[in-house]
Amino acid sequence: MRRVFGDGVCGDGRKCFCAKCYYRDFVRATYHLYNPQDNNWDLRAVSAYCAKWDADKPLEWRSKYGWTTFCGPAGPTGQEACGKCLLVTNTATGAQATVRIVDQCSNGGLDLDVNVFNQIDTDGSGYQQGHHTVNYTTLSTVRTKLIKPLLASIMNW
């Protein structure tokens, strides 16, 4: 695990704009049948742990990214993990997806919504094995939204 404080390089060498970044290699990712699109992106309807804090967030926020449970070996836990975003990369294919943590688990990895699981299963091996091996990096979408326009204005200066 690599942990970076402040803006820095997180995980796979890309620029990461967050106060605390966590990166972890070779994590087992299984799937969970949240199917949020069939449940109006309602965290309470799927009994997600994070519903207590995030169920009343706007639909745009709840539906922006796919969902995942998080019980990874590195990163925030409990309420602190709720709402955080991860960039998940399938190590076999390089396929990536950004997911939002909505639940917790105890399997020591990630439990991706089946839609996200299938999205990064570009070669079908995840379906065959019942899991993917992934890398993940925590992201800070709030700071990224603030930093990108600032950088763009500086670069155009």
Q: What distance in Å separates the CA atoms of residue 96 and residue 91, rounded to the nearest whole number? A: 9
What are the structural domains, with CATH classification, of the chain? 27-139 (2.40.40.10)
Q: Which pLDDT belongs to residue 144? A: 43
Q: Are 66 and 112 in contact (CB under 8 A)?
A: yes
Question: What's the pLDDT band for 76 if we cut at 50, 70, 90?
Answer: confident
Q: The pTM is what?
A: 0.77
Q: Which pLDDT belongs to residue 77? A: 83
Q: What is the mean pLDDT of residues 23-49?
A: 93
Which ranges in 7-58 belong to alpha helices (H)? 51-54
Q: What is the mean pLDDT of residues 79-102?
A: 95
